[in-house]
Amino acid sequence: MLSIRIVAMVVALLLPTSLLAQGWTEYIDRTDRFSVNFPGQPTIRDTTYPPQRGAPLEARVFTVQDGPRVYSLTVVNLSGLARPSDVKGSVAWEARNFRKRGGEITYDAFAQVDNMDGHQLHITNPDKSLTVVGIYLHARRLYILEADVPPDTPGAVHFQQSLIILDEDGKRIRYELDADGNRLFRITNLDGILLTSGERLGR
């Protein structure tokens, strides 16, 4: 576990001081089971999401606008999807939606958060702004992170990396994988891994 402790300390030390000055704080939502860092208190709105097939799905959007920078996290409830293949394919579907927006795609690849599969895209828009996207799936919830920022904004990557998916008790979920990338079990000993503030306080 020593290597994990070292990584956690390095991440903390490398966090740009400009982000601290902007007032980035951890936001926890127990209903949609996530924790993420925002540069302020997000506004929340209910919406619907168009899946690949079927009726629109319920979703909630959490947004913070920080000057010209906009950070949003959309959580889509996929329980209304009848086909398991549509649930599993929801990450690819949403990545397709972002590609259709246009702009120059400079990064487009598989990604993970705590060994849960997802996808990440970096898109340079016609006005030279940058859109950084992370899409992750767990327990029939689709998590869509989007940062629309001027070039060279450090907060865009920090926002993506800060996502933590929680269980019904507000505890961080992280999996151990086998050599083929299949889930073996949930890791319960998170000693040395960065925790949410709720976990640190025992809530």
SS3 (DSSP) at 176 = strand
Prediction pTM value: 0.85
CA distance 78 to 86: 9
* Sequence-separated (6 or more) residues with CB below 8 Å from residue 97: none
Domain that holds residue 52: 2-200
The answer to whether the Cα torsion of 110, 115, 118, 119 is positive or negative is negative
Give me the number of domains the chain comprises.
Answer: 1
Instruction: Give me the chain's average pLDDT, please.
Output: 87
Tell how far CA 24 is from the center of its chain.
Answer: 16
Contact 119, 96 (CB under 8 A): no
Residues of the chain with pLDDT under 50: 1-21, 197-203
115: CATH: 3.40.1000.10
Q: What is the pLDDT of residue 23?
A: 84
